Structure 1
Amino acid sequence: MNSEQLHKTLRASQYAELVLEKHKELIENDYAFDAFLKPLSRTQIANIVDESLNEITDENQWMRVIRILRARLMFRWIWQDANQLTNVKQLTQELSYFADLAVCVAKNYARTALVAKHGEPIGYGGKVQDLIVIAMGKHGAQELNLSSDIDLIFAFDEQGETNGRKCIDVQQFCILWGQKLIYLLDHITADGFVFRVDMRLRPWGDGSALAISHVALEKYLSQHGREWERYAWIKARIVTGGEDGDDLLAMTRPFVFRKYVDYTAFEAMREMKAMIEREVQRRNIEDDIKLGAGGIREVEFIVQVFQLIYGGSKLELQDRQCLVSLNHLGEVGLLEEQAVAELEDAYLFLRRVEHAIQALNDQQTQSLPTEPDQRARMIETLGYSSWEDFLHVLNSKRSKVIYQFEHLIKEKEVDPLVESFAQIEKQLDEVLDENAKNLVYEFWHGHALKKLPAKAVQRLKMFWPHLIEAILQSDKPQMALVRLMPLVESVMRRTVYLVMLIESKGALQRLVKMATVSPWICEELTHYPVLLDEFLSMDFELPKRKDLEDSLRQQLLRIEIDQVEDQMRVLRLFKKSNVLTVAASDVLAESPLMKVSDALTDIAEVSVNATLHLAYQITAKKHGYPLCLDGQRCSLDHLAFAVIGYGKVGGIELGYGSDLDLVFIHYMDEQADTDGQKQISGFEFAMRVAQKFVSLMTTQTLDGRVYEVDTRLRPSGEAGLLVTSLKAFEQYQNKSAWVWEHQALVRARSIAGEQSLREKFEILRCDILTRERNEENVRAEVLKMREKMKDHLGSSKEQKKDGIFHLKQDAGGIVDIEFMAQYAVLAWSGSNPDLAHYSDNVRILEDAAKTSYLSSDDATALIQAYLSERAESHRLALANQSMQVNAADWLDTRKVVCKLWQRLIDPTANIALDKNDCV
């Protein structure tokens, strides 16, 4: 044992003197102590902790042993630091390893007694719940100082109950678990403490529940998370909690690191800096090397503000450790090499000073000592001959930090665009009519603006010239302005969107273009501004089916089964955001019509499938599971329930405003009871699943609804049961269905539910459609139904005289082509079953040509007419316009359709080729 090193250690720390008094055996064995001074890996520290606490069951003894171990390790770390046998990185890492292990052993020790009293905590999904411990701050970043407290957050995966005699819910169990963990580490005994534990960073802070579920944490961050919490969560790390903890931490990343370049982080940092400066002045702690000017916190702020701005797109900036991310900033060119070097040098120096301060008395402080003896001890440890020499170096380092910090956070110079506000307003004035000018005037002088906070008004004034510049570059400036004004009003309180649009010129230009093409998109963004998050970061590629499934599954996975409102919110925003993506791709990337329809249909099918499983789970949780007709239990893996899509969704031809025509069938034993506590019959179970499905889909909330659902195509229509068995469906189709119902069956397709039942339906559909039918009877029934639709839904005689053509319902329109395809299946598939294979019109017409029932030219002409009319219907939907168009523009297309209609369906039809109408 080196006596000179011992002298330095005891001079550096009065706390070390106290430890040595109690534990003289620390330095009695020279060989053991020399080995003790060598760097320790996490595994070596873990072995030391395990050996010390092995088989100790008495709580007082356990607490005493771990506190003594902490004192011994602190003596070692102070010795190493005082004698420069370690460095800041190694020391902070070893301290953090020990903190992790202390938390883990305390958690494990605390669990035993709780399980004995209350049983295992079981989530609703049947999985034993673990306490997820999240380390924040320096502990999370593995940068603990010599006398750090540890900032923790306790969480768990899902709610449920314990299975013991004294049953409590999972949250209460985890709260008790966390309280005991804190007590084991934080409680001060005659042997001191292990770590001070600070829980104030948890959602809602002091006074809130000590442990929070994954779902509740996600909801808090998305709805209530504040800007300073984004800074805090940068350093978040799971100490213990397994796979569930990893999922939970992944959920927090989008809250911290926005997908877009997020310049609002500057303002949040300025606000936090101002708050800290007020606190420094109030407490008179200018000499605090952490919080004072040029201190540790400013270095961290510089790094973190870049992380928040660019971390969503530059993943290397998501590292928790300050110095690692600082060097990444240099590598990606966001900070100059000299700035990185100066900040790293200052940070390491300040952290070494911090350790010297804290070693004196094992106190959590960063303030320079004022007593002469304490100062003398500290500068001796740091290697300075006088306090003045030390201050000179300290102030030099801090001044470099101050320079970099002030250079970073200073208010942006006035945008030249903002300075030319008056000129831009004058240009705008020249292209607006009086109504549009009044709209702008009322916006700037209305009550809504007067109620805005000053900061929001300031951001709005910064945003306005950027908006006007983009509008003036549009080919339809007045239209763009009028359509965008409601959107601006809806987001002017959520000014983060305004900042994003200021900083992203491309996104603003896209928004203006979308406004000129589609008022429907503008209205969606206005009513649901949360969709702007997706819009501003989307790549305008059509979503892929697997990505849709994965995305919705992950979102719903974290919502407990009884939180119906949250489920509905996820479903609605999933549908709306993805339909918006498709619309943007349609408008801006000019995606092909068929691919757009495929994508819209995929979104609907994924939504239907997820909603069916939710409805089934909710019903089963209350009543248990029914029996299938084969005697098996109808569990989630064996639903015995299917959703059949008719019309546009069945035909894979959904448009933007389409509702869903659905029919529900089941394969359950209707007489057998479910196996839950509140038993109901299989028939009633199936009914409740269907009712819950419709409710989840159609209930109007603040986020709108998922889809309108039309179930009138079920057997017996509105007079029939909402859900029917496969056998009853078959009997109805064979004995009672009208021809028009078989027409509807042409466009039917199973879209969700149990696979074997879906396959049975497809076989049944094919059997019904391919039966031999009299062509003349089919033709007469199809014609009768078509005339009825024209009378009720087509243009009036007056409208036709005015040159109006209803793109869908009038002669030569979309429905004529659909009816011809349906006629082809019903009339001809009896002798050629391949015609009944597909449910979409294009492939039906293609197959009719392959089987020679239609010529290749006729089929191609019909398909081209159909795609042209459908493409126009999509455009009209995006433009919020009706299906009534100028008949003269569609005369050639209608001639093609009407000629084939006359040949196939109505030979007596009078085709007036020289007029606007085909009758």
Structure 2
Amino acid sequence: MTHDAPLANHLTRCPTAFDPARGADVVRLLPDLPADIASLIAGTAGSSPYLARLIEREHDWLAPALDAPRRAVDQVIAALGDIAPDILGAGLRQAKRRVALIVALADLGGVWPLEDVTGALTRLADAATDAAMKAALMAEVARGKLPGMSADDVQSGAGMVALAMGKMGAGELNYSSDIDLICLFDDSRFDRDAYPDARASYVRATRKMTALLSDITAEGYVFRTDLRLRPDASVTPVCVAMSVAEQYYEAEGRTWERAAYIKARAAAGDLQAGARFLRALRPFVWRRHLDFAAIQDAHDMRLRIRDHKGLNGRLNLLGHNMKLGRGGIREIEFFTQTRQLIAGGRDDSLRLRGTVPGLMRLSETGWITPEVAEDLTDHYRAHRLVEHRLQMLNDAQTHDLPVTEEGFARLAAFMGTSTADLKADLTRRIKAVEALTEDFFAPDDSATAREADFGAEVIARWRSYPALRSVRAGQSFRRLRPRILSRLQQAAKPEEALAVFDQFLSGLPAGVQLFALFEANENLLNLLIDICATAPALAQYLSRNAGVLDAVIGGSFFAQWPDDLPAELHTAIARAPDYEAKLDAARRWMKEWHFRIGVHFLQGLTDAEGAGTQYAALADSVLQGIWPVVSAEFARRHGAAPGRGAIVVGMGSLGAGRLHAQSDLDLILIYDAQGVDASDGPRPLAVSSYFARLTQALVTALSAPMAEGRLYEVDMRLRPSGRQGPVATGWGAFRAYQTDEAWTWEHLAQTRARPIVGDAGLMAEFEGFRRDLLALKAGGAKVRADVLDMRARISAAKPPQGDWDAKIGPGRLQDIELFAETMALLASNPARTVQDQLAVADLPEGERQTLQIGARLFWQLQSAQRLLTAGPLSADALGAGGRAFLLRETGQPSVVALNAAIEQVAARAAGVIETHLSADGQSA
């Protein structure tokens, strides 16, 4: 709440007395009131019989309270803990009367906003529940019925907690709310013999607490108390053991119970035990994977409520239920909570209890537009205002609008408006809420698009696809189909886009969650169609890994590249309980980031160079995350790695820190046993066997297909002696081989070698040796001749695949990279990237620029090609969207211009390379 001030200082509205005479009678009890306050009292008492009676009963307390209403509420609530047990019932009821009265006047006068009104009511409910619970527990302790507990224990709740659910949990109690509580006790505090007596005592205490709050006496009541939200309420006692509750939710918990726990809060009693229980329940409430089937569950629940309450049919304001009816408060709450359920497992910023804060956060994270959030917030506040006025009339827990014209006239007067204006405003808002929320839960099944003959043959076979075989998936997809076809028809080449979408759909193993996702998120559907119209390979990737779409709406998909990517994977792996689960967690994580890079590249949020760096950084992170897991699992069976262990070295493009969408990983493994002969473990291994099998375990961890697919294909042919050599090489043997036996191509490979993970000391020594090796081999007389021979062998073994082959051919990417490595070796230059190697090469500036331009163009072409397709790329086979992407990335205005650039740039680069590798070039 904001600062305190007399109520008269901030009045912004005033009810009109429906019964002026009644209002005037009540005002006489409070002489010398300021005119504005007198009008507020008269309008209030003249419209609400309930508030008129409260003013009459509490007028002596009310007069000074009007000068400091916030302080008055705080004092009433603070005093509840000091009321003697024998007068607690009367004291609680007096507190309820006083808080209800001052809150109503602050609300009716427009002095307090909705949050202050509902917040004051909720704080009263918390304090009243706590006082009633502790009084009931103290009686149990005094009778010796609560094993091992003393009066001191009762002060902290004695192991019992009341969880506030629903509006109380969210701090949003309405004016005449009942309170939804789940009462639990911490059974870990009792041994088996004491448990039955403890449970019986907590059940008695719960019943006494409920009676203290709910029984209607001459003093009234405090809060009607509802305990039916507890686990399996039909068979469980009113106070449930926490372990029993946890087991129930884990085994049988339903979507509506998950939604209820969004707002759950430890409100009374042992707050620490309650907080521990709620933490333990997080995996039940907040699913790690996006749960779009919750939308259908929420929709079904809405329909069941409407059917049960007889709320279907056309809108009729007379008797319309402002909470459960069409366009009502519950629609806004379900709209908000269902989205929170869907994504809150991944984005904990969405785990907010309040409806308005939830709407604002959903807007900030892109789930809904700011306009929708603002409109629903406005309607929610207005609906709650009407709800409060209905309840203030007679202190009734009602949400029904009046059923007579006289009743509407009284309500309108109470709200300071006319009947006609009130009805018009209600009708407008109810229809607006229905329009904003209904499509989310139940998109119009009758919606159609101008399908005509578009894709008729393709569409006809969709019903046979695995993803559409379930009834629920079919229903969801039928609602989606008009929107999908409409967007496909807007593609530059609709038939091409439809064909790719068809491939995507045919590859989906299941569809319920995904189709519900698309229904809930229009932007995601648009992204899919964009991918289908542009990048078939990415669409195929999606069909095999549809779970990556979770990440798109997880809150940070379009954010900047993170500073500490490996830490994110370590966190994901740490959550997994065992070795296989850790490998699957790594696969899920890698695929989401891999897809993210592709989408950013496709949509122009990064370019080929940026995407190449990110793909390599992702691979580094995977290796840095997986290697400790593999090593620890291997050590568990065979003992810790002998000596300093091993390092994993990235070769080729990985070593150079630039990969594309379909790159495999070139790796070698080097170990230093430091003279140790074998491992020391349950099943010890000789050093060579230990590291050979450890290497195979790493390769398997990376490349074996599991439930979540595979991470990367691995190529180890760049190790010493290639395919014939051992898969893991000792540090001494590696140095000796490179110094005395390796061929020129193996020295060229070392220009890009980069240690990625393993023993830090060995990694540093490897880099030092690599630099020394380049210096040692820099003057080799045969380097140029060997490279010329290698170029000829490559050309003969693998000719270019079409005019747009970016990699193979004279003057293209592989040729330029080979030449750059040659220049780096001849110059003893430790640089790994092609641009850095060319930058220090002994070349005339014009020739250097020719090669740098070629390297850039052919990398752009290669990187884009591998995002678009797994096979050869040609202008004829490429769709319109793919062509536009390729031209954008290469900076060319047309396909003709691109063809010309490829031919010219390759020819110029080849000329430079041949000049400097020839005999004349050597003599020069």
- How big is each residue's C-alpha offset from its partner over 1:753-782, in whole Å with a ceiling of 9 and x where there is no partner? 343332222112111121144443222333
The residue that corresponds to 2:302 in the other structure is 273
d(CA) in 2 for partners of 1:845, 1:622: 48
Offset, 1:601: 0.8
1:200, distance to aligned residue in structure 2 (A): 5.4
Aligned to 2:484: 467
Counterpart-to-counterpart distance in 1, 2:615 and 2:135: 52
**Equivalence for 2:374:** 333
Q: Which residue of 1 aligns with 2:61?
A: none
Asked whether the equivalents of residues 751 and 832 of structure 2 are also in contact (C-alpha less than 8 Å), the reply is: yes
Matched, 1:784 2:784: no
- SS across alignment from 2:531: helix
**What root-mean-square deviation, in Å, do the aligned CA atoms of Structure 1 and Structure 2 show?**
6.0
- Quote the offset at 1:653 in angstroms: 1.9
Which of 151, 157, 165 in structure 1 is aligned with 2:182?
151
Structure 1 residues 28-67: aligned runs within 5 Å: none
Match of 2:333 among 297, 304, 308: 304
In 1, are the aligned partners of 2:77 and 2:123 still within 8 Å (CA)?
Answer: no
Q: Contact 1:178 / 1:210 at 8 angstroms: preserved in 2?
A: no
Tell me the amino acid that sits aligned with residue 655 of structure 1. H
Identify if the C-alpha distance between structure 1 residues 568 and 441 changes in structure 2 by more than 3 Å, giving closer, same or farther.
same
User: Does the alignment pair 1:528 with 2:568?
Assistant: no
Say if 1:256 and 1:625 are closer, same or farther in 2 by CA, change over 3 A: closer
The answer to whether 1:343 aligns with 2:391 is: no
Partner residue in 2 for 1:898: 910
Contact 2:650 2:756 in 1 (8 A): yes
Corresponding residue SS for 2:756 = strand
Q: Which amino acid aligns with 2:304?
A: M
Supply the AA of the counterpart residue of 1:232: A
In structure 1, give the amino acid aligned to 2:822.
Y
Task: Identify the match of residue 591 of structure 2 among 571, 576, 579.
Answer: 576
Change (3 A) 1:332 1:175: farther
CA distance in 1, matches of 2:280, 2:614: 30
Q: What residue number does 2:106 align with?
A: none
1:483-882 to structure 2, matched below 5 A, reads 483-488=500-505, 494=511, 497-498=514-515, 501=518, 507-535=524-552, 544-546=561-563, 548-557=565-574, 559-562=575-578, 564-565=580-581, 567-589=582-604, 591-620=606-635, 625=640, 628-629=643-644, 641-667=646-672, 669=674, 671=676, 689-794=694-799, 806-829=805-828, 835-836=829-830, 838-848=831-841, 853-882=842-871
1:670–1:682 Cα contact (<8 Å) kept: no
Could you report, residue by residue, the CA deviation over 1:419-459 in whole angstroms, capped at 9, with x for unpaired residues? 663x4425x3xxxxxxx542223236x47698442x54444
Contact 2:587 2:709 survives alignment (8 Å): yes
Tell whether the 8 Å contact from 2:77 to 2:95 is kept in structure 1 after alignment.
no
For residue 231 of structure 1, the aligned residue among 251, 255, 259 is 259
Shift of 1:875: 2.5
Between 588-597 and 225-234, report the one with greater CA deviation. 225-234
Shift of 1:484: 0.8
What's the offset of the Cα at 1:596? 1.5
Alpha-carbon contact 1:307-1:317 (below 8 Å) kept = no
* Counterpart for residue 126 of structure 2: 96
Structure 1 residues 816-836: Cα deviation after superposition (integer angstroms, max 9, x where no partner):
21221222222231xxxxx12
| 1:131 and 1:174 in contact (8 A); partners too | no
Partner of 1:438: 457
Q: What displacement does 1:717 show?
A: 3.6
State the shift of 1:131 in Å. 14
Q: In the TM superposition, what is the alpha-carbon distance from 1:470 to its structure 2 partner?
A: 1.9
Distance across 1 between alignment mates of 2:194 and 2:856: 63
Q: How far is the alpha carbon of 1:343 from its aligned partner?
A: 2.8
Greater mean alpha carbon deviation, residues 872-881 or residues 642-651: 872-881
* Distance in 2 (alpha carbons) for counterparts of 1:132 and 1:674: 53
Greater shift, 514-523 or 613-622, is seen at 613-622
- How far the C-alpha of 1:355 sits from its partner, in A, is 8.9
| Number of residue pairs the alignment of both structures matches | 743
TM-aligned CA deviation for residue 610 of structure 1: 1.0
For the residues of structure 2 that align with 1:343 and 1:705, how far apart are their CA atoms?
52
Q: Are the counterparts in 2 of residues 808 and 814 from structure 1 also a CA contact under 8 Å? A: yes
Change (3 A) 1:225 1:855: farther
- Going from structure 1 to structure 2, the CA distance change for 1:405 and 1:737 (only over 3 Å counts) comes to same
Among the aligned pairs, what percent are the same residue?
Answer: 19
Distance 1:351 1:759, change over 3 A: farther
Distance of 2:768 and 2:241 partners within structure 1: 55
Q: Shift in Å at residue 350 of structure 1?
A: 7.7
Aligned match of 2:95: 80
Partner of 2:15 in structure 1?
Answer: none
- Distance (whole Å) between structure 2 residues aligned to residue 723 and residue 843 of structure 1: 30
Match of 1:163 in 2: none
Q: Distance in 2 between matches of 1:646 and 1:131?
A: 61
Amino acid at match of 2:331: I
Distance 1:300 1:619 in 2: 57
Contact kept? 1:562, 1:618, Cα under 8 Å? no
Alignment of 1:213-224 (within 5 A): none
- How far apart are 1:655 and its partner, in Å? 1.0
Q: Is the 8 A contact 1:543 1:599 kept in 2?
A: no
What letter is aligned with 1:465? P
Name the CA shift for 1:190/1:794 in 2 (closer, same or farther; >3 Å): closer
Q: Report the AA paired with residue 825 of structure 1.
A: A
SS at match of 1:700: coil
The 1-side partners of 2:579 and 2:122 are apart by: 43
2:42 counterpart residue number: none
SS at match of 1:334: helix
Distance 1:684 1:710, change over 3 A: same
Q: Deviations over 1:262-287 (max 9, x none)?
A: 9x9876544213323556689xxxxx
Native 8 Å contact 2:258 2:284 kept in 1: no
Higher mean alpha-carbon deviation, 503-512 vs 711-720, is at 503-512
Preserved CA contact (<8 Å) 1:484 1:522: yes
Q: 1:375-430 deviations in whole A, cap 9, x for unaligned?
A: xxxxxxxxxxxxx9999989999999999668644755999996663x4425x3xx
| Distance change in 2, residues 1:334/1:269 (3 Å) | farther
Q: Which moved more, 1:478-487 or 1:894-903?
A: 894-903
- For the 8 Å contact 2:655–2:753, the answer to whether it is kept is yes
Distance 2:529 2:572 in 1: 31
Equivalent residue for 1:183? Answer: 199
One-letter amino acid of the counterpart of residue 868, structure 2: A
CA distance in 2, matches of 1:316, 1:604: 29
The CA deviation string for residues 786-820 of structure 1, in whole angstroms up to 9 with x for no partner, is 3333333335xxx8xxx768542333332221221
CA–CA distance in structure 2, aligned partners of residues 583 and 175 of structure 1: 57
| Equivalent pair of 2:811/2:907 in contact (CA under 8 Å) | yes
Deviation readout 1:158-188 (Å, 9 max, x if unpaired): xxxxxxxxxxxxx999999998999387432
TM-score by length of 2: 0.65
CA contact (8 A) 2:183 2:206 kept: no
Distance 1:185 1:138 in 2: 28
CA deviations on 1:31-85 (whole Å, 9 max, x unpaired) are: xxxxxx9867999699x69xx9xxxxxxxxxxxxxxx97x975553234225657
Q: In the superposition, relative to structure 1, how do residues 556 and 256 fare at CA in structure 2: closer, same or farther (>3 Å)?
A: closer
Change (3 A) 1:437 1:317: closer
